[in-house]
Amino acid sequence: MNDAQLTSPPLIQAAANREHLPLGALLALATAGFITVLTEAMPAGLLPQMSAGLNVSQALIGQLVTLYAVGSLLAAIPLTIATRGWRRRPLLLSAIGGFALANSITALSDLYWLTLIARLIAGVFAGLLWALLAGYASRMVAPHLQGRAITVAMLGAPLALSLGIPAGTLLGTMVGWRLSFAIMTGLTLLLVIWVRWQVPDFAGERAGKRLPLRQVFTLPGVRPVLFVTLTYVVAHNLLYTYIAPFLQPSGLADDIDRVLLAFGLASVLSLWIVGSLIDRWLRELVLISTALFMLSALTLAVWRDSAGVVYVAVVVWGLAFGAMPSLLQTASAKAAGAAADTAQSMLVTLWNVGIAGGGLAGGLLLDNPGVGAFPWIVAALLVLTLLASLAPTRTVVGTE
């Protein structure tokens, strides 16, 4: 490429565009994440209605959430690898369109087995979508803005957890669960138009540039990020999944919705705080997040019978957790470079393993030693997280 080509107006304009956050495009990605989380969790808030509508037990309706997670867990890595050569926007639109299909089937189905298949489909597309988002956001901007771009793109998840799921549950109670899923389909179709209008397209990986999965795994910095992801998410879900029995000594068991709302709002605040700092202080923010979560866990371990202290500890926990997905995905993207989508697929898989592992471990430990021991176990897991984050090699910050 000659000097005239390097200074041509289109290239200059493209470089200038990368120096600003494309909020319209990034918020479209955030909305995709919002719909993904809301689709995943809605059956949990509509158990009685869906149980009656499909004529099965509430326990079986709960498996709709489980199968969604299984779909994400099984599909993220192979589907991401299989589609590495695809252009990015058509692939993103395909993943979003999968949610329109799955939610439409769920809204119309009278058969439990068909609803299960729809949920598996939704989970498969969720695994692909989460693998795409961070790499997509980072390609829209210059390197020094990648963390901020990923933070904006990840905004949908905490908003869905803190506001979307309660709103979705209320909507289902008012208009019925079928219409709720139909509304989700309508929102998804609007998102398809938004993405087509605002989100730029990028080429897929060229065949000669695609690293095998094993080589991506061994890239400097990728394995520490994956280890931190696993230990942190297991710790979080061990406590979060069993928050209801944990709150009983403080008298807050009947106020779990308020406690989780406080957690969710603190998570959103965390993203706002971290967004302006993530590109300069990535490693430090990971350490602060881990330390705050550990402080919260130890506080809950010692003063779990005090309602006021529990609220404060939960808010600190939310501040610690809210930005952690963005931090980890930014670290993974920086470490993997051009192989970011493949690294993200491994991160998504381990994130789901962490969710399942935390829930399973908590179930096994619930009776003996009991839920009172959970904060101590969480603190022990976070010690491992801190050690991995402090390792002198290329770690979560992606620098030597």
The CATH number of the domain holding residue 282 is 1.20.1250.20
Are residues 198 and 247 part of one domain? no
Are residues 260 and 168 part of one domain? no
Closest listed residue to residue 61, CA positions, set 45, 72, 50: 50
Q: Which of 192, 208, 224 is the last residue before a domain boundary? A: 208
Are residues 115 and 252 part of one domain? no
From residue 131, give the alpha-carbon distance in Å to each of 35, 344, 348, 349: 15, 5, 6, 9
Whether residue 395 lies inside any domain: the answer is no
Q: Which of 208, 232, 263 is the last residue before a domain boundary? A: 208
Are residues 345 and 227 part of one domain? yes
Closest listed residue to residue 41, CA positions, set 133, 148, 159: 159
Whether residue 166 lies inside any domain: the answer is yes
Are residues 114 and 169 part of one domain? yes
Whether residue 397 lies inside any domain: the answer is no
CB proximity list for 24: less than 8 A, separation 6 or greater: 198
Range(s) of the domain holding residue 67: 15-208
* Number of domain units in the chain: 2
Tell me what pLDDT residue 174 has: 85
Are residues 186 and 274 part of one domain? no
Q: Which of 159, 178, 208 is the last residue before a domain boundary? A: 208
pLDDT tens across the length of the chain (400 residues): 454 554 445 434 445 556 788 999 999 999 999 999 889 888 877 878 888 999 998 878 878 887 888 888 888 889 988 898 899 999 999 999 999 999 999 999 999 999 999 999 999 999 999 889 888 998 899 888 888 898 899 888 888 877 777 777 778 878 889 999 999 999 999 999 999 999 999 987 776 667 788 888 888 889 999 999 999 999 998 888 788 788 888 888 777 778 888 888 898 899 888 888 888 888 999 999 999 999 999 999 999 888 899 999 999 999 999 889 889 988 988 888 878 888 888 998 898 888 878 877 888 887 788 888 889 999 999 999 999 988 754 444 444 3
Are residues 261 and 174 part of one domain? no
Whether residue 8 lies inside any domain: the answer is no
Are residues 86 and 161 part of one domain? yes
From residue 273, give the alpha-carbon distance in Å to each of 58, 130, 284, 286, 325: 39, 23, 14, 13, 14
Are residues 186 and 267 part of one domain? no
Are residues 93 and 199 part of one domain? yes
Whether residue 365 lies inside any domain: the answer is yes
From residue 328, give the alpha-carbon distance in Å to each of 87, 131, 234, 319, 383: 25, 13, 15, 15, 17
Are residues 234 and 184 part of one domain? no
